[in-house]
Amino acid sequence: MGEMNIASTSRGNAHATMEDVAKLAGVSLKSVSRVINAEPHVSAKLRAKVEAAIAELNYVPDTAARSLAGSRAFIVGLLFDNPSPNYTMNIQKGVYETCRDQQHHLRIDNIDSTVPAEKFEAQLAAMVRNSRCDGFVLTPPLTDNVVLLDFLDRSGIRYVRIAPDIQPDRSPGVCIDDAAAAAAAARHLWELGHRRFAVVRGPASHGAAGRRRQGFIDELHRLGAENPIIEAEGNFSFESGIAAGAKVLAATPRPTAIFAANDDSAAGVMVACSQAGLKVPNDVSVCGFDDSWVAKSVWPYLTTVYQPIEEMGRAAAALLLRRDEPDNVLHELDFSLVVRASTAPPPQ
């Protein structure tokens, strides 16, 4: 895939130089370089002086020259293998914003992790050979792909993972508590009076999908659910939601509440309800996960779990660009349950 030229989006003064910035700020050229390159241990006073001079001159750093001057490429790689367009779009937006703020380019690659390991490694080698990056932001399910992680570690390439499931201390990462978020959805449906439930799962390779399923089911059991919980395989896509919805609605007795592991598949479930002659939420309540644009493009509007996808992208890129080595810890962000019109008490 191509690169986004961050610098080209700014209306910089083509005649201003780093020397002009240094002169206006009354500091050395080295000090200007340290601020522009986001190096650690720069005082707030120095940073403020340099940034004020940059703003006054409308100076845009030359990322190509910066790359030649040192070992950094000033390019962040973002890797996808995810069927949800909403998720990829929002992660991309968050990572891009951090790149823009820190004067970096963004390179986006979509790689197929379902191919045999040997072919997958060949893809990775070609990608690294053809694009020099300072590191990669990994999104699920690549987050938990051991072949990819081993390849990056062997190559000495830094990476930050979003929502990792395996070996959480292997790299820096950002996440939410998916199990607790799905448990909140389960409590909401239970408190409305539902006692017959179904779950539309996400891809087996997606660790967060498994945590959501388990969190939802565990919470129902804790609340005292006695009826079997019907399950169907989903793939985080609208089409898979239609197929899974048709399957769970064919069960006897029919569930009165369906939890889908993301909004795309929840929207598909709502279509399956319509095809079966059922109304949402009069006959069946439907709950999703993500609070994407999809949640308010269906009718009735979708009850769902909000996860800060853009913020996760911003935070992951910021961790990657830290010059001091970040600890290999997970940074957990907040979630919330957004109640809309797709859930209601069950029919009597």
Maximum distance among all Cα pairs of the chain, rounded to whole angstroms: 78
Per-residue pLDDT tens over the stretch 162-180: 999 999 999 999 999 999 9
Tokens of 328: 């290999």
Distance CA 288, CA 238 (A): 12
Write down the CATH number for the domain with range 3-66.
1.10.260.40
pLDDT for 39: 67
Q: Which fold has domain 75-176+310-332?
A: Rossmann fold (3.40.50)
Return phi, psi of residue 290, to 5°.
130, -40
Instruction: Render pLDDT for 231-244 as a digit per residue (tens, 0 to 9).
Output: 999 999 999 999 99
Average pLDDT, the chain: 88
Q: Is 58 left (phi over 0), alpha (psi -120 to 50) or beta?
A: left
Mean pLDDT of 307-335: 90
For residue 253 the two structure tokens come to 């007795």
Query: Mean pLDDT throughout 113-134?
Result: 83
**H-type alpha helices, the chain:** 18-25, 29-36, 44-57, 63-69, 85-101, 117-130, 146-155, 178-191, 207-223, 238-249, 263-275, 309-320
Whether the pLDDT of residue 113 is over 50: the answer is yes
Cα–chain-centroid distance for residue 187? 25
Q: What angle do CA 164, 166, 171 make, to 5 degrees?
A: 60
Nearest-5° Cα angle at 255, 176 to 193 = 75
Task: Say which residues have a Cβ less than 8 Å from residue 328's Cβ, sequence separation at least 6.
Answer: 169, 170, 171, 172
Residues ≥6 apart with Cβ < 8 Å to 312: 91, 94, 162, 163, 174, 175, 176, 333
pLDDT recorded at residue 149: 92
Flag whether pLDDT at 140 surpasses 70. Answer: yes
Residue ranges of domains in the chain:
3-66, 75-176+310-332, 178-309
Cα–Cα distance, 171 to 313 (Å, whole number): 16
Q: Structure tokens of 227?
A: 């009826």
- Between helix 207-223 and helix 178-191 the angle, nearest 10°, is 40
Mind listing the pLDDT tens digit for each residue in 30-64?
Answer: 788 778 766 667 788 888 898 888 888 887 665 54
Query: Is the pTM here over 0.85, yes or no?
Result: no
Looking at per-residue pLDDT, the higher value among 252 and 66 belongs to 252
Please give the residue that has the higher pLDDT: either 203 or 36.
Answer: 203
According to the model, what pLDDT value does residue 290 have?
Answer: 95
The pair of structure tokens assigned to 187 is: 């409590």
Is 254 strand, coil or helix?
A: coil
The pLDDT tens digits for 264-296 are: 999 999 999 999 999 999 999 999 999 999 999
Distance CA 234, CA 237 (A): 7
Q: How confident is residue 65, by pLDDT bands cut at 50, 70 and 90?
A: very low
Q: Do domains 3-66 and 75-176+310-332 have the same CATH topology?
A: no
Mean pLDDT score, 55-81: 69
* pLDDT reading at 10 higher than 50: no
Residue 310: what pLDDT?
Answer: 95
The yes-or-no verdict on residue 258 having pLDDT over 60 is: yes
The share of the chain scoring above pLDDT 70, in percent, equals 89
> How high is the pLDDT of residue 38?
65
Q: Which CATH class is domain 178-309?
A: alpha beta
